[in-house]
Amino acid sequence: METNIRITVDPQRMGGVPCIRNLRMPVATILGMLADGLDEEAILKEHPELEREDIRAVLRYVAEFFRLREFPLAV
C-alpha cells in the first residue's frame, strides 16, 4: 500500500491501528462516522483537530486496502 502521510501506523500508539496524523483518531472511527451519515462538515465541527483532507485520506486508504486484497468467492 502506498504510504499516506495523513494515515499513520505506530505500534507504540493505539495498538498499531491506522490513525489520522498521530492524533489518536483511528481511521475506523472516521469511517464509522461517515457510515452513520455524518458529512465532512459535521465531522470537522465535532473534531476541530481534523482537516478536510484527513477525511478524504481515510476514504482513499480504505479503498486502497480493499483494492489490494483478494477475497475468496462465496460458495
For residue range 21-48, what is the model confidence (pLDDT) as tens digits?
Answer: 989 999 999 999 999 999 999 999 999 9
The total domain count for the chain is: 1
Structural domain boundaries enclosing 12: 7-67
Report the CATH number that the domain containing residue 20 is assigned in CATH: 1.10.10.10
Task: Report the pLDDT value the prediction gives residue 61, as an integer from 0 to 100.
Answer: 93
Contacts of 23 by beta carbon, 8 Å cutoff, 6+ apart: 49, 50
- Residue 15 within a domain: yes
> Mean pLDDT over residues 43-68, rounded?
94
Establish if 74 belongs to a structural domain.
Answer: no
Any domain includes 54: yes
pTM above 0.85, yes or no: no
Q: Looking at residue 2, what is its pLDDT?
A: 42
Residue 1 has pLDDT above 60, yes or no: no
26 strand-pairing partners: 19
In-domain check, residue 33:
yes
Give domain status of residue 61, yes or no: yes
